[in-house]
Amino acid sequence: MEKRVVFQSKWLPYALLAPQIAVTVIFFFWPAAQAVYYSFLVQDAFGTSSQFVWFQNFTELFHDGRYIESFKVTIVFSLLVAVSGLSIALLLATAADRVVRGAMAYKTFLIWPYAVAPAIAGVLWAFLFAPSIGIVTYLLKKMGVDWNWIINDQQAMLLIVIASVWKQISYNFLFFLAGLQSIPRALMEAAAIDGASPTRRFWTIVFPLLSPTTFFLLVVNIVYAFFETFGVIDATTQGGPAAATQVLVYKVYHDGVKGQDLGSSSAQSVILMFIVITLTVIQFRFVEKKVQY
């Protein structure tokens, strides 16, 4: 039987929701509306006046080779972060689910990176891979690898992917571990008695039952790669070398803050918001059909 909460005052539910609604309006809808408005304007060089130009900022963006290249960089970066982060987290969660002795220390060690700010994670990995003083760089040189992400675009991309995956892996790990621990042990024991190998049990029982968790984390990781990796990139490569790691969200900041091109930056942010909303709708529309609840 469904239980419903009945408030004595009809205003109390609205009063309880008001803080959350205020936060959403002030920090999401109001900035989004301002970005849409400024995307139709072009300011003069001194920022003293602006002109309404309709869709000129959007047209110029799609004829800009650097913006198209930023699209390609963002797609590669997002796929690497999402796929690597989910794969490694699932592997660690599967291992943690089997640990008997020292399980609490193992899990605590894996959760720590989630408490680190993205910029701090970027600085940490930048020190480890620093071309002149980094300890990982020293070990790589011992193995004959010439590592210098400041001038090598592929190494710069690899650095921000490692830092971004490391920052997000704790979040993925927690959800996968909770999902694994909710799977009935009787199913696994029955499959084992029937002679199914551990690999077959994982792909036929564990992975399908984890599909709702995997789908949720896929959406979260795509959004994370698009928006929340700004701090990692700004603390390490700052979009370089030669814009090789300049993803869309960093280009919005670069053109708007450093380039003082408010109209183009606003148009980019509107396009970025539209892309993420479209990706999320597509995932819920098509990918969710393959999820087994």
- Residue 281's pLDDT is 84
Q: How far is the C-alpha of 63 from the C-alpha of 175, rounded, in Å?
A: 42
What is the reported pLDDT for 44? 80
pLDDT exceeds 70 at position 3: no
Task: State the pLDDT at residue 126.
Answer: 92
Residue 291 scores a pLDDT above 70: no
Q: Is pLDDT of 120 > 70?
A: yes
| pLDDT of 87 higher than 90 | yes
In the chain, the number of structural domains is 1
Domain presence at residue 10: no
Tokens matching residue 271: 């396009």
The whole-angstrom separation of Cα 237 and Cα 159 is: 9
Tokens for 222?
């795509």
| CB-based contacts of 7-14 (< 8 A; 24+ apart in sequence) | none
> What's the CATH code of the domain at 110?
1.10.3720.10
Domain-embedded: residue 18: no
Q: Which domain holds residue 206?
A: 65-288
pLDDT band at 130 (very low <50, low <70, confident <90, very high): very high
Task: Tell me what pLDDT residue 80 has.
Answer: 95
Instruction: Please check whether residue 219 lies inside any domain of the structure.
Output: yes
| pLDDT tens for each residue of 240-260 | 888 899 999 999 999 988 888
Q: Is residue 3 part of a domain?
A: no
In a domain, 267, yes or no: yes
Regarding pTM above 0.75, the answer is: yes
Q: Does some domain include residue 14?
A: no
Confidence (pLDDT) at 282: 81
- 27 within some domain: no
**Mean pLDDT of all residues belonging to the chain:** 87
Q: How confident is the model at residue 196 (pLDDT cuts 50, 70, 90)?
A: confident
Quote the strand ranges of the chain, DSSP E: 41-43, 50-52
CA angle 121, 243, 142 (to 5 degrees): 55
Taken in order 233, 238, 239, 242, is the CA torsion positive or negative? negative
